[in-house]
Amino acid sequence: MDRNRKTLKKFFIITSNKEDYFDAAKLIKRESTKYHFPTKIVKLDPSKKWTLPNQTTETKVVVFLLTNDKKIIKDVVRLRRRFGNLEIINLSYLKSFTTKKETQERLSKGGIITPKIFALDRALGLKNKFKYPIFIKSNFHCTAVLIINNKQSLTNFLQSKLLTNNSDWYVEENLRSQENILEDIYFVNGEIFGTKRTRASEQLNKAAKKISTLLEIDVFSAGFFVKSNSNQYWCFDINPAPAMFRSIFARQALVKFTNKLLVDNFDNPSNHITH
């Protein structure tokens, strides 16, 4: 490559036409105008493959997958093998593409406190031992969370047409109470942002950094229950495609991180970030 030729840097925000993330993508794009790289929102159809348009060896690209569509994620991650000048945010985590239940189990084994969860296959045998209400959750993001209030409701669900595959669902204990406060945070390249006016508490800061290390993930949102007047918490959700509607500071940090990837990884290959 001619050293005097200027490298073109681009930022792609990938969404799915099956999910409602487009408005979030526009908010992130708005923040990117402060930097000297063009940002494009690409809304994909999961049934069709996507490739990098007008790609040359002088074009450097960072992709943020603002989607939890399994098909789109796999297709875009495959592009990384073909284009060495492509950086995908959260690549290490996305390559494994674990289900929500598997992610929770990884966190629990790594020392992050999570609610008790059970495979749906065990639910019928445990129905007399559960403390109701319980949650039945889909293993995939942006889908239903069901509240089961008693044994009969659980039996009805297990016999319903809604249940086509047991592995698509899991049971989670209900931690909602007046004592337990719901807190959500955004994590971007080591920085933690609360979704309220107050900053995330110290224990959630520590937990978020540990989650990043355990899952090899640089950008995510996390949901916690925090016990009042206590350091006790439970992490019940990790989303690798956070919309960041509730924090302009998180959106600004994402764009700043993108700029760092474009500058460090491509202008200085020795600084390559692997996550």
Beta-bridge partners for 225 = 182, 234
In angstroms, the CA 15 to CA 42 distance is: 6
pLDDT score of 123: 84
- Within the chain, residue ranges assigned H as helices are 22-32, 70-82, 91-96, 100-109, 123-126, 151-158, 202-215, 248-260, 266-267
Q: Are 83 and 33 in contact (CB under 8 A)?
A: no
Integer Cα distance of 37 and 258 in angstroms: 10
- pLDDT range class, residue 120, cuts 50, 70, 90: confident
Task: Give the per-residue pLDDT at 143.
Answer: 72
To the nearest whole number, what is the mean pLDDT of the chain?
87
Q: Please, what are the domains in the chain?
A: 8-95+245-271 (3.40.50.11950), 100-113+178-239 (3.30.470.20), 117-173 (3.30.1490)
**pLDDT-derived band of residue 124, with 50, 70 and 90 as boundaries?**
confident
Task: Return the pLDDT at 253.
Answer: 97
- Give, in order, the Cα–Cα distances in Å from 216 to each of 58, 74, 234: 29, 17, 20
| 38's tokens | 């063009």
% of the chain surpassing 90 pLDDT: 63
Residue that is written with structure tokens 């690409």 in the block: 42
pLDDT at 4: 42
pLDDT at 58: 65
Strand partners, 186: 193, 221
What is the spatial order of strands in the sheet that 219-227 belongs to? 191-194, 180-188, 219-227, 233-239
Mean pLDDT of 240-259: 96
What pLDDT does 266 receive?
A: 60
Residues facing residue 64 across a β-bridge? 13
pLDDT at 7: 61
Query: Is the bond leading into 115 cis (omega within 30 degrees of zero)?
Result: no
d(CA 223, CA 141): 13
Q: Is 173 buried (19+), middle (13-18) or exposed (0-12) by CB count in 10 A? A: middle
What single DSSP character describes residue 158?
H
Structure token digits, residue 14: 């990938």
pLDDT mean over 241-253: 95
- Summarised one tens digit per residue, pLDDT across range 188-223 is 999 999 886 556 788 899 999 999 999 999 999 999
**Minimum mean pLDDT among 138-142, 169-173, 236-240, 256-260: which range?**
138-142
pTM of the model: 0.89
pLDDT tier at 80, thresholds 50, 70, 90? confident
